Amino acid sequence: MPEYLSSNFVGAFYIALQLTMLATKGFSPYEYHGLYNRRNKKMRNKIKKSLIVFLSSVMVLTASACGNKKQAADTDSGSDSQQTTSQSASSEKDSSIIKDREGNDFEIPDHADKIISMAPAITQTLVDLGLGDKLVAVDKYSLSIKGVDQDLPAYDIMAPDVESISSLKPDIIFTTGMSKSGGEDPFKPITDLGLLMTSIPSASSLDDIKEDILFIGESTKTDEKAEKLVSDMESKIKDIKDKVNNDKPEKTVYFEIGESPNLVSIGNGTYLNEIIEMLGAKNIFSDQEGWVSVSDESVMSENPDIILTNVDYLEDPVSDILNRNGWDALDAVKNKQVFLIDPNASSQPNAHVVTAIEQIAKALYPETFK
């Protein structure tokens, strides 16, 4: 018996029982049953009347209970429906707010049909996600990226044209942490205008690069493509690592990323250092942090086995190193173990870093990576 009927049914039964007992002059139910089986017509008539009363009472109370239950159910249903709608709306709103790469709350725009990218690495990722046609402006360095319209407005990442950018009415603007390297944010006047902008700090690890890709995908609602990019990247890196024979003697590496006015290399806390160590080699400046200004003497004192460079402003950076005054004493120069690594793949933190990893692996293990 349904819970909401049980109490009413018992009440009805009790009322009918009292009436029946009254009609039978107070006999117990058991005795009442015996009396009914005897052919006492007068008593049977009284019992029939009592039963009619009993059944009528049950029907009335049951109908009343059902009506009350339906009304309560309708009320609860309406309340639940309103609550569900409210919760759904709240959940939908909450799901559109994520943390950006600086750890700030970021509300994903309803659509990303007009995008501005102010960093080549970000621009490349947007193109990889199939959003090249959504770009309405880029930084000057991004114009060289395949898939970017050469006629797009191009801006200086350190001194953006606020009025021009705001006139484009972008849905979202991506900037890089490098824009703030001078201590001030040149894009603050743009955010003050209410335009949606997010800054992605310079990646210091391969994991940072993956997270950057996933964030760009989530903020432009291309999550699945971003996840595929990262998955492919991880798979290729694994294939390269599996081929590396770590049983061989560890090779030492000098990676030159700047040639003038001072030599610049990499230290710990950079993804290029991570790549070198991941491949079983040792960066000669791994005891220092970040980007490192070095001298000829410091390089010569370490006498690296391999020299890598991604300098792109010299006509032939490899020849420059091989013919550098005094460097002919280095083992890497004597053995002609100086290699150019793709400047874009190695300096722009995006999925194309895999190309740089392959080239570094080939320089370290030419017999394995042919």
Residue ranges of the alpha helices (H) in the chain?
A: 3-23, 29-37, 41-95, 120-128, 162-167, 188-192, 206-219, 223-243, 271-278, 296-302, 317-322, 331-334, 343-347, 353-364
Give the pLDDT confidence score for residue 179 in this predicted structure: 77
pLDDT of residue 260: 79
Say if residue 11's pLDDT is above 90. Answer: no
Mean pLDDT over 24-32 rounds to: 35
How high is the mean pLDDT of the chain? 81
How high is the pLDDT of residue 286? Answer: 97
Percent with pLDDT over 70 in the chain = 73
Yes or no: say if 355 and 344 are a contact pair by the CB < 8 Å rule. no
Condensed to tens digits (0 to 9), the pLDDT of residues 144-170 reads 999 999 999 999 999 999 999 999 999
Which CB contacts under 8 angstroms, 24+ apart, belong to 149-158? Answer: 155/118, 157/118, 157/119, 157/186, 158/182, 158/186
Question: How far apart are alpha carbons 15 and 5 in whole angstroms?
Answer: 15
User: Mean per-residue pLDDT for 326-335?
Assistant: 97
Instruction: Name the least confident of 25-34, 40-49, 196-205.
Output: 25-34
Return the pLDDT at 95.
63
Question: What is residue 31's predicted lDDT score, i.e. its pLDDT?
Answer: 34
What mean pLDDT do residues 86-103 have? 67
Tens digits of residue pLDDT in 181-233: 777 888 899 989 999 999 999 999 999 999 999 999 999 999 999 999 999 99
Predicted confidence at residue 207, as pLDDT, reads 98
pLDDT computed for residue 80 by the predictor: 52
Its pTM stands at 0.74
